[in-house]
């Protein structure tokens, strides 16, 4: 749905299967009608697609099929989650989600293929955004000068490809690197430092136009950062804010919980990194479960939980970091792309799901966001 300052609000369809082209089309036809009827009965509903490389490679010549599906349900696509390249559900994902990273030309090819597809779907006058890996994973590969040059070269190649799409179609699409725990771009400071270096390139204007950041508020909370301050930093540095993902992590005091309290969140599918107020870190939840530290202070656990869920007492949500100043600063963004992202719903403990259907959970998250975002004067709610 649109917000009257020119922006758009949606939820990320990476909560649904999107590995194949049929998955993408079926997800639109199956899951969107209920959300559309409840949330935006009289105006088009914005959609945040998730399209894997396999699905994208199957799309040439079939774009009309997806356009028709969107039209049938009264929806429009304006953003794509192109972070996961391959499988994202019902299998062990963990470190695989970062591959290929931005040192690999395959990441460029995939991203530009997604951009071409998105250009074929975008309504007139609407810009498009694509969220992606924040360069790569910090562990498992040695950082070299060659790899850093590859990052720069491949992002420049992507920017040139996006400009070509704009010159050909009139559709402006930008890419947002999404800082995430244990990635090469993890904190706001790391991200700002990278862009300062990137913008020293002779073609900095091109890079500034098409390459920016996707701020995930769950990931910001994992660094004990204030997302409102993150946005201000990026604006001050003239870094494009391509998209903001509205999401929350788990939070708990290490002195109040036991491994049994957190064990239900160990799904074996995704990385659940842990950071602490004392500065201690664990690469995955099983590391803490095996060797718990009850003196680490407040813990933040990288597990996306629904925004309308406040917690169960011992275990809380970081949604409190989405403060009034955060909602207000969204008004300063030109054409903001806002995306609710809770992709873990089907593997969360039953106490979090609270016997809801996925469709109802999506509607309830929208309601929570719309209640807090009222200053943006949503066009349809």
Domains and CATH numbers, the chain: 8-248+318-376 (3.20.20.150)
Give the residue among 27, 28, 45 at the shortest CA–CA distance from 36: 45
> What is the DSSP track for 85-146?
-S--SSS--GGGGG-S-TTSHHHHHHHHHHHHHHHHHPPTT--EEEEE-SS-BSSSS---HH
> Which structure tokens are listed for 121?
């779907």
| Res 158: pLDDT | 98
Residue 214 φ/ψ, nearest 5 degrees:
-110, 110
Phi-psi region of 176 (alpha: psi -120 to 50; beta: other; left: phi over 0): beta
| Res 376: pLDDT | 59
| Res 18: pLDDT | 83
| Res 381: pLDDT | 39
Three-class secondary structure of residue 21 per DSSP: helix
Say how far apart CA 158 and CA 68 lie, in whole Å.
28
Whether the CB-CB separation of 340 and 12 falls below 8 Å is answered with: yes
Mind listing the pLDDT tens digit of every residue in the chain (381 residues)?
777 567 899 999 999 988 899 999 999 999 999 999 999 999 999 999 999 999 999 988 999 999 999 999 999 999 999 999 987 876 887 898 999 999 999 999 999 999 999 999 999 999 999 999 999 999 876 556 688 899 999 999 999 999 999 999 999 999 999 999 999 999 999 999 999 999 999 999 999 999 999 999 999 999 999 999 999 999 999 999 999 999 999 999 999 999 999 999 999 898 999 999 999 999 999 999 999 999 999 999 999 999 999 888 899 999 999 999 999 998 878 889 999 999 888 888 888 887 789 999 999 999 999 888 875 555 543
Residue count of the chain: 381
| Res 375: pLDDT | 58
| Res 308: pLDDT | 94
Whether the CB-CB separation of 170 and 119 falls below 8 Å is answered with: no
The C-alpha R_g of the chain, in whole angstroms, comes to 20
Whether the CB-CB separation of 329 and 321 falls below 8 Å is answered with: no
| Res 142: pLDDT | 59
Q: What is the pTM of this model?
A: 0.95
Q: C-alpha distances in angstroms, 53 versus 19, 24, 156, 266, 336? A: 8, 12, 21, 27, 26
Maximum C-alpha span of the chain: 58
| Res 277: pLDDT | 93
Whether the CB-CB separation of 262 and 286 falls below 8 Å is answered with: no
């Amino acid at each position: 749905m649109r917000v009257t300052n020119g922006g758009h609000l949606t939820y990320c369809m990476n909560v649904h299967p999107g590995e194949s082209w049929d998955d993408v089309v079926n997800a639109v036809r199956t899951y969107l009608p209920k959300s559309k009827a409840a949330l935006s009965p009289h105006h088009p509903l914005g959609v945040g697609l998730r399209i894997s490389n396999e699905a994208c490679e199957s799309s040439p010549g079939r774009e009309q099929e997806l356009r028709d599906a969107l039209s049938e349900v009264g929806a429009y696509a304006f953003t794509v989650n192109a972070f996961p390249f391959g499988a994202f559900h019902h299998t062990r994902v963990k470190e695989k989600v970062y591959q290929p990273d931005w040192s690999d030309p395959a990441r460029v090819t995939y991203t530009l293929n997604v951009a071409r597809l998105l250009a074929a779907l975008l309504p007139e006058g609407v810009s498009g955004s694509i969220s992606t890996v924040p360069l790569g994973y910090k562990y498992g590969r040695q950082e070299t000068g060659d790899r850093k040059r590859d990052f720069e070269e491949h992002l420049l190649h992507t920017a040139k490809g996006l400009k070509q799409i704009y010159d050909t179609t009139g559709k402006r699409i930008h890419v947002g690197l999404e800082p995430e725990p244990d990635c090469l771009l993890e904190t706001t400071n790391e991200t700002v430092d990278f862009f300062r270096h990137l913008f020293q390139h002779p073609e900095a204007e091109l890079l500034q136009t098409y390459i920016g950041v996707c701020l995930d508020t769950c990931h910001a909370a994992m660094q004990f950062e204030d997302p409102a301050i993150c946005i201000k930093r990026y604006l001050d540095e003239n870094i494009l804010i391509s998209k903001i993902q509205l999401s929350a992590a788990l939070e708990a005091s290490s002195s109040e919980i036991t491994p049994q309290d957190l064990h239900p969140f160990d799904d074996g599918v995704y990385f659940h990194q842990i950071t602490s107020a004392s500065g201690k870190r664990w690469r995955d939840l099983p590391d803490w479960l095996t060797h718990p530290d009850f003196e680490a202070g407040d813990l933040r656990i990288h597990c996306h939980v629904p925004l309308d869920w406040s917690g169960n007492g011992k275990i809380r949500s970081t949604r409190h970091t989405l403060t009034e100043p955060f909602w207000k600063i969204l008004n300063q963004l030109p054409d903001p792309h806002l995306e609710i992202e809770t992709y873990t719903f089907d593997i969360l403990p039953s106490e979090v799901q609270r016997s809801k259907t996925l469709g109802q959970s999506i509607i309830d998250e929208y309601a929570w966001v719309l209640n807090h975002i009222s200053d943006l004067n949503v066009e349809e709610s």
